[in-house]
Amino acid sequence: MLEDITSWQIKATGKPLYLALSVTLAFFVYFSDVFALLSGFFLMLYLMTRQHRIHIEAPYTTMILPIEDVEENRLSSMIELVRQAKRERMETLKQQEAEQPIAFETEHKKSA
C-alpha cells in the first residue's frame, strides 16, 4: 500500500451545500430581512465544517485523513518514508525478476 502512493496534498474540505444555501438565501434578502440571518447561519455552518485534511492519492483510490492524525512535523518525514518504500519495492521486484526470468515456451508441431 505504501509503495503505491503517487502523491499527497493538504486540502480544505467543507460541505458545499451549506455554502450554496447561504448564497441562495442571501439573494432572498430582497424579500425579507429574515433571510439574512438564515444566510449567515448556513455560512457559519460551512466555516465550522471546513477542515484541513490530507488527501493521499494512489492509482485507483484516494484516502482522506484528518490533519490531527498526522502531526505537522511528521508530514515531511512521510514523503521520505514513501520514497524509501518505493525504492525497496522496486529493488524487490528487480530481484524477483532476476531470479525468475520470464520465458515464453512455444511448441511447434512439424507438419508432415
Question: What gap in Å lies between CA 82 and CA 21, rounded to an integer?
Answer: 40
User: Does 65 map to a domain?
Assistant: yes
Question: What gap in Å lies between CA 104 and CA 47, rounded to an integer?
Answer: 61
Per-residue pLDDT tens over the stretch 7-47: 777 777 777 888 888 999 999 988 988 889 999 999 998 88
- In this prediction, residue 75 carries a pLDDT of 61
Q: What is the pTM of this model?
A: 0.46
User: Does 110 map to a domain?
Assistant: no
3-state secondary structure of 13: strand
How many domains is the chain built from? Answer: 1
Beta bridge partners of 51: 13
Expressed as residue numbers, the domain containing 62 is 2-99
User: Does 68 map to a domain?
Assistant: yes
Residues in Cβ contact with 40 at an 8 Å cutoff, skipping those fewer than 6 apart: 22
User: Does 11 map to a domain?
Assistant: yes
User: Does 7 map to a domain?
Assistant: yes
Q: What is the DSSP string of 23-83?
A: HHHHHGGGT-THHHHHHHHHHHHHHHH-EEEEEEE-SS-EEEEETTTS-HHHHHHHHHHHH
